[in-house]
Amino acid sequence: MSKAAIKKAIGQRIKSLRGQKGLTIEKLAYENGLAKGNLSEIEKGKIDTRISTLERIAKGLEINLKELCDF
Protein backbone atom coordinates (compact mmCIF):
# COMPACT_ATOMS: atom_id res chain seq x y z
CA MET A 1 0.00 0.00 0.00
CA SER A 2 1.42 3.39 -0.95
CA LYS A 3 1.91 6.22 1.51
CA ALA A 4 -0.88 8.19 -0.16
CA ALA A 5 -3.25 5.22 0.07
CA ILE A 6 -2.46 4.76 3.76
CA LYS A 7 -3.12 8.45 4.51
CA LYS A 8 -6.41 8.27 2.63
CA ALA A 9 -7.48 5.03 4.37
CA ILE A 10 -6.71 6.42 7.83
CA GLY A 11 -8.58 9.61 7.03
CA GLN A 12 -11.63 7.72 5.80
CA ARG A 13 -11.52 5.52 8.89
CA ILE A 14 -11.41 8.53 11.22
CA LYS A 15 -14.29 10.21 9.41
CA SER A 16 -16.37 7.03 9.45
CA LEU A 17 -15.79 6.35 13.15
CA ARG A 18 -16.43 9.99 14.03
CA GLY A 19 -19.76 9.80 12.22
CA GLN A 20 -20.69 6.56 13.96
CA LYS A 21 -19.99 8.22 17.32
CA GLY A 22 -22.05 11.26 16.38
CA LEU A 23 -19.11 13.62 16.80
CA THR A 24 -18.57 16.76 14.77
CA ILE A 25 -15.10 17.48 13.52
CA GLU A 26 -15.10 20.55 15.77
CA LYS A 27 -15.93 18.57 18.91
CA LEU A 28 -13.40 15.80 18.25
CA ALA A 29 -10.70 18.36 17.52
CA TYR A 30 -11.47 20.63 20.48
CA GLU A 31 -11.78 17.86 23.07
CA ASN A 32 -8.47 16.33 22.02
CA GLY A 33 -6.33 19.43 21.64
CA LEU A 34 -6.25 19.36 17.85
CA ALA A 35 -6.78 22.13 15.34
CA LYS A 36 -10.00 21.65 13.39
CA GLY A 37 -8.21 22.44 10.13
CA ASN A 38 -5.53 19.84 10.78
CA LEU A 39 -8.09 17.18 11.62
CA SER A 40 -9.96 18.03 8.44
CA GLU A 41 -6.78 17.65 6.40
CA ILE A 42 -6.03 14.31 8.10
CA GLU A 43 -9.53 13.07 7.26
CA LYS A 44 -8.99 14.07 3.63
CA GLY A 45 -5.67 12.18 3.56
CA LYS A 46 -3.80 15.34 2.61
CA ILE A 47 -1.23 15.56 5.40
CA ASP A 48 1.10 13.26 7.26
CA THR A 49 0.39 12.92 10.94
CA ARG A 50 2.33 11.75 13.93
CA ILE A 51 1.54 8.61 15.87
CA SER A 52 0.91 10.77 18.94
CA THR A 53 -1.79 12.66 17.03
CA LEU A 54 -3.40 9.41 15.90
CA GLU A 55 -3.34 8.25 19.53
CA ARG A 56 -5.20 11.41 20.61
CA ILE A 57 -7.76 10.92 17.83
CA ALA A 58 -8.23 7.27 18.84
CA LYS A 59 -8.69 8.30 22.47
CA GLY A 60 -11.31 10.85 21.41
CA LEU A 61 -13.11 8.12 19.49
CA GLU A 62 -12.86 5.85 22.55
CA ILE A 63 -10.88 3.19 20.70
CA ASN A 64 -7.27 2.11 20.71
CA LEU A 65 -4.71 2.93 18.04
CA LYS A 66 -4.84 -0.59 16.63
CA GLU A 67 -8.60 -0.28 16.04
CA LEU A 68 -8.12 3.08 14.36
CA CYS A 69 -5.61 1.58 11.95
CA ASP A 70 -7.73 -1.48 11.19
CA PHE A 71 -8.73 -0.67 7.64
Q: What CATH number is attached to the domain comprising 55?
A: 1.10.260.40
CA 40 to CA 30: how far, in whole Å? 12
Side-chain-facing half-sphere of 33: CA atoms under 13 Å: 6
pLDDT of residue 71: 80
Question: How do the pLDDT tens digits run along the chain, 71 residues long?
Answer: 899 999 999 999 999 999 999 999 999 999 999 999 999 999 999 999 999 999 999 999 999 999 999 98
* 19 neighbors 33 (Cβ within 8 angstroms): no
- Please give the tally of structural domains in the chain: 1
pTM of the model: 0.92
At 31, is the secondary structure helix, strand, or coil? helix
CA 38 to CA 20: how far, in whole Å? 20
